[in-house]
């Protein structure tokens, strides 16, 4: 799917429906910049996934609301609710890919439960 730049004003609308990966990044965060091509690749690989990029220094209050303590930070939203988070200065492309695959396939409360 596509990659969209979000502002503090547009953020809530962008994550309100569907499966959304939020990439919180900063221009002085070298790890953030290194992961950008991987985030764009993941946006292409997952048809159902909307990727929303938030430049953290321009959205400090939003980062505080989301309790983001460091960059890079990746948050996965399903229909407006955060369901998973990956953050830290040592996040690798492989870790991001694995985390997203696991998080996307994780059952939600709406999914039917298996009964033994």
- What is the C-alpha to C-alpha distance for residues 19 and 77, in angstroms, rounded to an integer? 6
What residue has token string 């070298």? Answer: 30
At the fourth CATH level, which superfamily is domain 3-83?
A: Glutaredoxin (3.40.30.10)
**CA-CA distances (angstroms) from residue 84 to 27, 104, 113, 115?**
24, 9, 20, 25
Task: Tell me the per-residue pLDDT of 59-84, one tens digit each, with 9 for 90 and over.
Answer: 999 999 999 999 999 999 999 999 99
Domain boundaries, the chain: 3-83
> What pLDDT score was predicted for residue 109?
62
User: What pLDDT is attached to residue 1?
Assistant: 67
């Amino acid at each position: 799917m596509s990659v969209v730049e979000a502002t503090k004003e547009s953020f809530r609308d962008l994550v309100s429906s569907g499966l959304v990966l939020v990439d919180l990044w900063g221009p002085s965060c070298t790890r953030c910049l290194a992961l950008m091509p991987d985030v764009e690749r993941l946006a292409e690989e997952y048809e159902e996934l909307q990727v929303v990029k938030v430049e953290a220094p321009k959205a400090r209050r939003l980062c505080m609301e989301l309790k983001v303590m460091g960059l890079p930070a990746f948050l996965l939203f399903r229909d407006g609710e955060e369901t998973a988070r990956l953050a830290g200065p040592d996040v690798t492309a492989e870790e991001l890919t694995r985390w997203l695959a696991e998080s996307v396939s994780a059952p939600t409360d709406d999914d039917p439960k298996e009964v033994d």
